Amino acid sequence: MAEDEPLAAEVLQEALTEEGFAVLAAPDGQAALDMAEAGAGFDLLLTDLRMPRLDGQELIRRLRARRPDLPVVVMTGFPPPGGPDSLHDGPGPLRLMTKPIHIAGLVATLRAVMRGD
């Protein structure tokens, strides 16, 4: 999970852990990319779009350059004008959620994306 707002990241990590997810939290896109390059194992990317150092769109692009099938869920308060299609790069599923994020909806979306729905 790449989320630059510490309180939001903490709440999301706690809620997702309670729902059975193992969460690797990064404070921005660059930190998430560094974790991936260091060999961190993960099945899905949950990312904000607007973050310092490396934004979510570039993070998606770089991770999918190596893993085109990587499932991605984007959470943002500022959806891109082109919608999810403007973020989609590769055959993996991608969902766009607008903040504020409701945990039940996020959990359902994460599970659906992991199933390939």
- Quick count: other Cβ atoms within 10 Å of Cβ 22? 9
pLDDT band at 89 (very low <50, low <70, confident <90, very high): low
Q: Which pLDDT tens digit goes with each residue over 38-56? A: 999 999 999 999 999 999 9
Q: Which pLDDT tens digit goes with each residue over 1-32? A: 999 999 999 999 999 999 999 999 999 999 99
When the pLDDT of each residue in the chain is averaged and rounded to a whole number, the result is 92
Question: Does CATH number 3.40.50.2300 belong to domain 1-77?
Answer: yes
- The Cα–Cα gap between 98 and 7 comes to 17
Give the chain's largest Cα–Cα span. Answer: 34
Please report the beta strands in the chain, taking only residues with DSSP state E, as ranges in sequence order.
45-48, 72-76, 94-98
Q: Pull the structure tokens for residue 60.
A: 């998606």
Q: In what order do the strands lie in the sheet with 94-98?
A: 45-48, 72-76, 94-98
Q: What is the pLDDT of residue 84?
A: 74
Per domain, the residue ranges of the chain are 1-77
Is-above-0.95 flag for pTM? no
